[in-house]
Amino acid sequence: MKLYCLQVLYKNGDGKVNPLSASHELSSFGYFQRSSVQEFMDFTSKIITERTMIASRASVKEQDYICHVYVRSDGLSGVVIGDHEYPKRVAHTLLNKILDTFETQVPNKSEWSKPNSGLKLPYLSEHLAKYQDPKQADAMTKIQSELDETKIILHNTIEALLERDEKLDALVDRSADLSVQSKAFYKTARKTNSCCVIL
């Protein structure tokens, strides 16, 4: 999972898009490719923002990448570009976060429509670095990951128990908690259907 680009843009009432600030993580590309890749990502961000309706979200596939865009009702827009494995929900959570932060740091809306404003916003780079691992940055993803790990551990424990069926048979034979009928039922069930284990 990887994020490559975060952008904040402004889409005015005429549909024209003004890029405001961006951060890129292009270390996985060759040194001489990086400027071209960055230009392509900036171009793509502008195009998908132009084509996305006001007050809507979209996720657009482009070759090996997926571009998530959110155009708010006031025209403030954000784009996240990542790979296909990056969770969509986390990408859209990140979009909300960067746009809300932008609005608090640049509350003067007349700044949004200035062409080539090129605002330097360090929080974009910080968020781009932090969200590289969605489990660490997003509480819901972290909780889901922990639940998945718990399910795997429980599943492995049950499999380990099923591998010891000879010992389980001996426990059933020696058990004082089981009646003669229960022991007989267990043995019959084991013979009849070897895939079922009665605990």
Mean pLDDT along residues 5-11 = 94
CATH number of 3-132: 3.30.450.50
User: What per-residue string of b and e applies to 38-59 under the rule 16 or more CB within 10 Å gives b?
Assistant: bebbbebbbbbbeebeeeebee
**pLDDT at residue 199 above 90?**
no
Is pLDDT at 143 greater than 70 in this prediction? no
Q: How many CB atoms are located within 10 Å of the residue 9 CB?
A: 24
On the CB side of 65, CA atoms within 13 Å amount to: 16
**179 pLDDT tier (thresholds 50, 70, 90):** confident
Please give the pLDDT value at position 170. 63
Q: What's the rounded mean pLDDT across residues 4-21? A: 92
In tens, the pLDDT along 50-108 reads 989 999 999 988 888 899 999 999 999 999 999 999 988 889 889 999 999 999 998 88
CATH topology identical between 3-132 and 143-192: no
Q: How many CA atoms lie within 13 A of 82 on its CB side?
A: 25
Percent of the chain with pLDDT over 70: 70
Who contacts 158 (Cβ-Cβ below 8 Å, separation ≥6)? none
Indicate the residue type of 34: R
Q: Per-residue confidence at 155, pLDDT binned at 50, 70, 90?
A: very low
Q: Break the chain into its structural domains and give their ranges.
A: 3-132, 143-192
Q: Which two tokens stand for residue 116?
A: 């080539």
Please say whether the beta carbons of 131 and 137 come within 8 A.
yes
Please report, for residues 56, 143, 180, 189, the alpha-carbon distance to residue 7 in angstroms, rounded to integers and kept in the order given.
16, 28, 72, 63
CATH of domain 143-192: 1.20.5.110
